[in-house]
Amino acid sequence: MNTILHIDTAGPDALIGISQDLKVIATKQNNQSNTHGEFVQAGVEELCKEAGILLKDMDAIAVTMGPGSYTGLRVGLASAKGLAFALNKPLIGLSTLRLFAKAAVGHLIATRNALLDNKQLQVFSMIDARRMEVFGAIYNSSLDYLAPEKAIILDETLLHSLLSNGPLICIGSGVAKTKILTQHTDFQNKLPLFLEYTYSIHEMAALAVDKFKANDFEDLAYSGPAYLKDYYQKPLIK
């Protein structure tokens, strides 16, 4: 049985949890983005007490590597690296975009959606960025890449091109701006399926177990967040 501690501070809400194989046995959430650091440190201790598990008994530490909030990713990865180093445990890095895709496929399975049987199915995971840009990736139903993680400018031409390749599911915080592009009449006969929810510790556990079994771990010294674009800070007005 693999016991894994999960840390996710990539988005506006922070998640921490403990799983044993695919079973989530404890989880906590924080919705105040400016307190994620304090939440993780105190929350991990509380989780261990709740689950009756010592930190030293964890088999690995799993953390979302991005893309996502610049500050949030740094907070989560620093906490996870610190724990992994202190406990001498492997660090598992998870993509937020793949987690969204995992949640989308899980929704299709749970609802017995016929789209799951379509070999041309595309899952477009997207995290809102500036203006009409998203950080995104496209997967098939097996979570293999159809298009790698990158910064993407959303426009009607892109959506028409994707829809011509097969059914399209959009999930993530970029869904709202994508919906705006499909309000024109030329999209009425063929629309993406929009899923307006996020992933959970359950998706983290599923992907982390696969990586643990494959010994697919991060280098504690050299691994860093997947920002996909350089951080931009608005210049101060003098």
Give CA angle at 91 (53, 61), nearest 5°. 20
- The confidence score (pLDDT) of residue 236 equals 42
Q: What domains does the chain contain, in order, with CATH numbers?
A: 3-95+199-213 (3.30.420.40), 97-195 (3.30.420)
Identify the CA nearest to 3 among candidates 19, 17, 23: 19
* Phi, psi angle pair for 13, to nearest 5°: -105, 135
pLDDT over 90, % of the chain: 80
Q: Is the pLDDT reported for residue 235 higher than 80?
A: no
pTM: 0.93
Neighbours of 210 (CB within 10 A): 12
Rounded to an integer, what distance in angstroms lies between the CA atom of residue 121 and that of residue 186? 21
Give CA angle at 116 (105, 139), nearest 5°. 55
- The confidence score (pLDDT) of residue 186 equals 76
pLDDT digits (tens, 9 = 90+) for 180-189: 998 876 777 7
87: Cβ–Cβ under 8 A, 6 or more apart, which residues? 55, 56, 58, 61
Q: Is the pLDDT reported for residue 231 higher than 60?
A: no
